Structure formats: C-alpha cells, structure tokens
Amino acid sequence: MENSKQFYSRDITILQQSQSKLVLEFLTHHGIIPTTKELFHVTQLFVECCMYLPDDELKNKIDKLDKWIIKKKNPDVKTPGV
C-alpha cells in the first residue's frame, strides 16, 4: 500500500530529530547504550512508524527490534528467531 501523503525535507528532519531524542531516552531507560549505527537504525524505524501505516514489513521490523532490545538487555537469554 503506497502512502499518498507527501513529506517534505524539513518535516522529515524535524521528525528525525524528535525521534532520535525519543529513541536515545527509550534505550538508555532500558539500560542500552547504543552505538551511533544502532541509534541511526532504531531512529529510522521510529520515523517509519510515524510516517506510514503498519504493514507486514514494518511489523516484522518492530518484532526484530523487540528481540534486539531483549538480547541487548539480557545477553545470556536465548531469544527465538535471533
């Protein structure tokens, strides 16, 4: 399903800035200190969640993020599918 709403560069920049702050607070609250690459990837996922209706691909990305968070919080715990 294609989203017909157009986003402008300024809007996306503002969204990325706000989501990067939210992501950093969220991860550090859970005891995760992300690398720059990890912060970028999680921020992009949060931005996608704001911009688009959830489809199967986005839901799969969110599931993978949940598993990644569990693994980062508890490195000794086996997570199915990771």
- Please state the pTM of the whole predicted model: 0.78
Q: How far apart are CA 26 and CA 73, in angstroms?
A: 12
Task: For residue range 27-79, list pLDDT tens digits in order.
Answer: 999 999 999 999 999 999 999 999 999 999 999 999 999 999 999 988 887 75
- Burial of residue 42 (number of CB atoms within 10 Å: 0-12, 13-18, 19+): buried
Residue extents of the structural domains in the chain: 9-73
Q: To 10 degrees, the CA torsion angle through 57, 59, 65, 68?
A: -90
For residue 44, how many other CB atoms are within 10 A of its CB? 15
* pLDDT value at residue 1: 44
- Does the pLDDT of residue 81 top 70, yes or no? no
